[in-house]
Amino acid sequence: MLPPGLLPEGLRDRLPPAAEAQATLTATMMAVFAAHGHERVSPPLVEYEESLGSRLASAQRRELLRFTDPVSQHTLALRSDITGQVGRIAVTRMAAAPRPLRLSYAGPVLRVRGSQLAPERQSQQIGAELIGLDSPAAARAMLALAVEALLAAGVPDLSIDLTLPTLVADLHAAGLPAGTADLPTLQALLDGKDAASLRAHGASAYEPLIAAAGPADAALARLAALPLPAGRLDAVAAVVAALAPLDISVTLDPTERHGFEYQSWLGFSLFGAGLPFEIGRGGSYTLLHPDGTPEAALGFSLYIDSLVEAGLGTTERPRVFLALGTPQAEGEALRAQGFITVAALCEACTPQGCTHIYEAGHARPLA
Amino acid sequence: MLPPGLLPEGLRDRLPPAAEAQATLTATMMAVFAAHGHERVSPPLVEYEESLGSRLASAQRRELLRFTDPVSQHTLALRSDITGQVGRIAVTRMAAAPRPLRLSYAGPVLRVRGSQLAPERQSQQIGAELIGLDSPAAARAMLALAVEALLAAGVPDLSIDLTLPTLVADLHAAGLPAGTADLPTLQALLDGKDAASLRAHGASAYEPLIAAAGPADAALARLAALPLPAGRLDAVAAVVAALAPLDISVTLDPTERHGFEYQSWLGFSLFGAGLPFEIGRGGSYTLLHPDGTPEAALGFSLYIDSLVEAGLGTTERPRVFLALGTPQAEGEALRAQGFITVAALCEACTPQGCTHIYEAGHARPLA
């Protein structure tokens, strides 16, 4: 027999006040998305594995928790990501909705196993998607939306790291000499920031990409020397310039591709000071409609568990004990003032855990 | 290949505005629980099947969606109920918290298959539990809490149906003559309101229980003729009397046991006018601590999907289109006034879907 209260590895209970903080942070940020016109959709926790998996990179697909549906005998899976589900909704049930389509979502996601750094198998994902546009203006608007939501949640000292997931492929296709390195080799060497091997392959033309990682303005200046497709650098520069009024640190890591396999020209990660992991990521991508028509889109996901861990989203409300027989209306008046009321339900009930006690018509603080 | 957008039977997307309504109803009712001192806990979606199943009646246990954990090789299951998880928390991680302990929860639950009447396999369950008391005062407080939450959610014409799940067993144990009928037979005949068979078994002493179903005051008067354990009827009468100020219909169906297998002296169901299913249920029950110590508890769960279906929880907010180049501060001012702002992100973007357009410093309604 299992010990009572034992949970499977990587799964846990959220207790007070963390559970409330998670709900508060979710509500705060979803309210920001709603105020900017993003309407909530809520896809199911479980879908056909084939359908969920088709919208994931292969490494992520292996992380799906799967089971056989006793009803249909199909393989189902628990979602590990909501973005793909929202994309599915956008090109099927909401294909006829006006564009750009603004959607948002919040809910739990699960994966087979956590990592050493992040052992949790269940986490809370929220996000916003803009379907039908992936212009610099769209990128600016969605990044500003993520920043506004995270500021509303109280995240300190935000920073954004931009990446250009298709940059290396674009340069390679444009004929920038790569010597003996094919595209996957080139990408692997740049991922490893391995300048020596680039030179050994005769691909030193790509070396400036390594040096270009850093504060966005300086990085853009370095990239200007490269034969990029027309307008590409202007688009990135426009996003960087548009972010300036937000007064947050913006860096550029032009060759970073890890986890951005599904992004098109722009990807980004969001960080907060003192928060151990990236707290959000997003970028531009292409949705495929059932008839094969592509549609541009841009969005982001935020992972709020690390914000909860950091103590964000908790509010201290006074908690007042009402003795047996306190009239209903007096409790109502206290709640209307923002008090939590704890009504005695027995003679032996005590104000333990309360900050105040209601006496003679007043909430008196307890020592 | 599966058609794009196809979901497994019994699972579905919630689109605008239903997804937002579900979140709003959840938040509205959870705020009521919080104002009365119930603190949120959030157990995981997945637990050991053995652990989840041990807190369910056998019929419910068969409804768990199970799978083998690739990490531990144990059988895990998706929760079909949150109440049992909250009970587990109360007697393990929160065993040392002051009593009575007030907890609340909200989240999705899943089951193997829906019924013909309710085909959904995923639903949203919220609820509140009081751990450490199951007195009439506790029952009154928790029923009043459920009613306040449902009224805040806008549920019309509430009614409560009380049941006394252990009544027949109590009467049988007290020696009320049952002729040739043993307790399970007696309960089955009363479930079927089969007066003729009761008489045939020589158990006509139990016949008044059938007639006692109906408005609570009249039902209590009929039950008064039966040799009930001392104080039992007084407890029920106290609950009924305490509910009178709520001005809602209260009925008593003393022998109804379906779905109340885990309840002790009191069970209840909540209904709303025009809502096809019961919208909540609860009652008193006994928690077992790991050392075998029993603890009285009382609580309820609300199922909000039928409230969403009925159109509750939706709010119409004006949606104003901001032309390209509208200053940031003007959008902020509109949002502060309660407007949803939809910023144009391209020359071709139109106010389609908006209720207003921002022009010359004013939000002008669109025809």
- In sequence order, what are the beta bridge partners of B68? B75
Whose structure tokens read 């009614």? B159
Sort out which chain A residues have CB atoms less than 8 A from B44's CB and list them: 7, 11-13, 122
List Cβ<8 Å contacts ≥24 apart for B232-238: B232/B164, B232/B167, B232/B170, B232/B265, B235/B135, B235/B136, B235/B265, B235/B266, B236/B136, B236/B162, B236/B164, B236/B266, B238/B136, B238/B137, B238/B140
Write down the pLDDT at residue B57: 78
Write down the pLDDT at residue B307: 95
Query: What is the nearest CA distance from B200 to chain A, expressed in angstroms?
Result: 43
Sort out which chain B residues have CB atoms less than 8 A from A88's CB and list them: 4-5
In a domain, A86, yes or no: yes
Write down the pLDDT at residue B366: 95
Write down the pLDDT at residue B33: 98
* One domain for residues B308 and B323: no
Query: What is the nearest CA distance from A19 to chain B, expressed in angstroms?
Result: 5
Write down the pLDDT at residue B180: 94
B203, amino acid identity:
A
Q: Cβ B48–A319 below 8 Å, yes or no?
A: no
Strands B101-110 and A65-68: unpaired
For residues B253 and B163, is the Cβ–Cβ distance under 8 A? yes
Interface test with B, best of A7, A64, A247, A337 (most B CBs within 10 A): A7
Give residues 243 to 282 of A whose Cβ lies within 8 Å of B.
245
For residues A282 and A268, is the Cβ–Cβ distance under 8 A? yes
For residues A147 and A130, is the Cβ–Cβ distance under 8 A? no
Q: Cβ A36–B340 below 8 Å, yes or no?
A: yes
Sort out which chain B residues have CB atoms less than 8 A from A15's CB and list them: 41, 89, 93-94
Q: Cβ B50–A141 below 8 Å, yes or no?
A: no
* C-alpha separations of A314 from A25, A304, A319, B135 in Å: 9, 13, 15, 33
Query: What is the nearest CA distance from A200 to chain B, expressed in angstroms?
Result: 43
- Nearest CA to B361 out of B324, B327, B338 is that of B327
Q: Does B292 contact A at CB distance below 8 Å?
A: no
Cα radius of gyration rounded to whole Å, chain A: 25
Sort out which chain B residues have CB atoms less than 8 A from A42's CB and list them: 13-14, 18-19, 22-23
Sort out which chain A residues have CB atoms less than 8 A from B19's CB and list them: 39-42, 105
- Nearest CA to B50 out of B83, B103, B88, B10 is that of B88
Whose structure tokens read 């009224």? B151
Sort out which chain A residues have CB atoms less than 8 A from B352's CB and list them: 98
* One domain for residues B343 and B212: no
Which residue numbers in chain A have pLDDT < 70?
A: none
**How many cross-chain Cβ pairs, A to B, lie less than 8 Å apart?**
249
Residues 6 or more apart in contact with residue B248 via CB below 8 angstroms:
B147, B157, B158, B159, B160
Rounded to an integer, what distance in angstroms lies between the CA atom of residue A294 and that of residue A286? 6
Residue B260 has pLDDT above 90, yes or no: no
- Confirm whether residue B81 is marked as ligand binding: yes
Please give the residue range of the domain that contains residue B224.
166-252
Q: Cβ A70–B4 below 8 Å, yes or no?
A: no
Start-to-end CA span in chain B (Å): 45
Strands B158-163 and B249-252: parallel
pLDDT tens, residue by residue, B126-160: 999 999 999 999 999 999 999 999 999 999 899 99
Write down the pLDDT at residue A257: 78
pLDDT tens, residue by residue, B52-96: 988 887 778 888 999 999 988 999 999 999 999 999 999 999 999
Rounded to an integer, what distance in angstroms lies between the CA atom of residue A119 and that of residue A64? 15
* One domain for residues A104 and A72: yes
Lowest mean pLDDT across A189-203, A235-249, B226-240, B352-366: B226-240
Q: Reduced to 3 states, what is the DSSP secondary structure of residue B94? A: coil
In a domain, A204, yes or no: no
Q: Does A179 contact B at CB distance below 8 Å?
A: no
Residues 6 or more apart in contact with residue B306 via CB below 8 angstroms:
B275, B276, B277, B279
* One domain for residues A287 and A361: no
Across the range B247-270, mean pLDDT stands at: 88
Q: Let me know the angle formed at the C-alpha of B323 by B322 and B325, rounded to the nearest 5 degrees.
A: 105
* C-alpha separations of A169 from A184, A190, A199, B181, B318 in Å: 9, 12, 18, 82, 45
* One domain for residues B52 and B131: yes
* One domain for residues B275 and B248: no
Closest CB to A44 among B7, B37, B74: B7
Sort out which chain A residues have CB atoms less than 8 A from B110's CB and list them: 45-46
In a domain, A5, yes or no: no
Q: What percent of chain B has pLDDT above 70?
A: 100
Closest CB to A353 among B98, B135, B335: B98
* One domain for residues A358 and A285: no
Write down the pLDDT at residue B269: 96
Interface test with A, best of B11, B12, B42, B49 (most A CBs within 10 A): B42
E-strand spans in chain B? Answer: 39-40, 46-48, 65-68, 75-78, 101-110, 122-131, 158-163, 214-215, 249-252, 267-272, 280-288, 294-303, 319-322, 340-343, 356-359, 362-365
**One-letter-per-residue 3-state SS of chain A:** CCCCCCCCCCCCCECCCHHHHHHHHHHHHHHHHHHCCCEECECCCEEEHHHHHCCCCHHHHCCCEEEECCCCCCEEEECCCCHHHHHHHHHCCCCCCCCCEEEEEEEEEECCCCCCCCCCCEEEEEEEEEECCCCHHHHHHHHHHHHHHHHHCCCCCEEEEEECCCHHHHHHHCCCCCCCCCHHHHHHHHHCCCHHHHHHCCCHHHHHHHHCCEEHHHHHHHHCCCCCCCCHHHHHHHHHHHHHHHCCEEEECCCCCCCCCCCCCCEEEEEECCCCCCCEEEEEEEEECCCCCEEEEEEEEEECHHHHHCCCCCCCCCEEEECCCCCHHHHHHHHHCCCEEEECCCCCCCCCCCCEEEECCEEEECC
Helix-strand-coil split of chain B, %, nearest 5: 35, 25, 45
Residue of A nearest to B94 (CA): A15
Of residues A300 and B254, more confidently modeled: A300
Q: Cβ A45–B108 below 8 Å, yes or no?
A: yes
The helices-and-strands tally (H runs, E runs) of chain B is 13, 16
List Cβ<8 Å contacts ≥24 apart for B236-239: B236/B136, B236/B162, B236/B164, B236/B266, B238/B136, B238/B137, B238/B140, B239/B136, B239/B139, B239/B140, B239/B143, B239/B162, B239/B266
Q: Cβ A346–B9 below 8 Å, yes or no?
A: no
* One domain for residues A95 and A55: yes
Write down the pLDDT at residue B3: 81
Q: What percent of chain B has pLDDT above 90?
A: 76
Strands B249-252 and B65-68: unpaired
pLDDT band of B258, cuts 50, 70, 90: confident
- Helix axis angle for A136-152 and A18-35, nearest 10°, is 140
For residues B297 and B130, is the Cβ–Cβ distance under 8 A? yes
In a domain, B3, yes or no: no
Sort out which chain B residues have CB atoms less than 8 A from A335's CB and list them: 35-36
The DSSP call for residue B329 is H
Interface test with B, best of A2, A9, A22, A45 (most B CBs within 10 A): A45
* One domain for residues B101 and B57: yes
In a domain, B71, yes or no: yes
**Count of all residues that appear for chain A in the document:** 367
For residues B153 and B312, is the Cβ–Cβ distance under 8 A? yes
pLDDT band of B332, cuts 50, 70, 90: very high
For residues B300 and B127, is the Cβ–Cβ distance under 8 A? yes
Lowest mean pLDDT across A307-316, B214-223, B225-234: B225-234
| Residue A138 token pair | 């769209």
Sort out which chain A residues have CB atoms less than 8 A from B121's CB and list them: 46
* One domain for residues B55 and B181: no
Mean of pLDDT over chain B: 93
Sort out which chain B residues have CB atoms less than 8 A from A137's CB and list them: 345-346
In a domain, A340, yes or no: yes
Cα radius of gyration rounded to whole Å, chain B: 25
Q: Reduced to 3 states, what is the DSSP secondary structure of residue B21? A: helix
Number of domains in chain A: 2
CATH number, domain of A33, equals 3.30.930.10
* One domain for residues B200 and B308: no
B300, amino acid identity:
F
* One domain for residues B108 and B204: no
E-strand spans in B29-170? Answer: 39-40, 46-48, 65-68, 75-78, 101-110, 122-131, 158-163
In a domain, A3, yes or no: no
Across the range B222-241, mean pLDDT stands at: 87
- In sequence order, what are the beta bridge partners of A296? A286
Give residues 37 to 96 of B whose Cβ lies within 8 Å of A.
37, 39-48, 50-51, 65-72, 74, 76, 78, 85, 88-89, 91-94
Query: What is the nearest CA distance from A257 to chain B, expressed in angstroms?
Result: 27
| Residue B22 token pair | 């579900």
In a domain, A48, yes or no: yes
Distance, C-alpha A235 to centroid of its chain? 23
Q: Cβ A342–B102 below 8 Å, yes or no?
A: yes
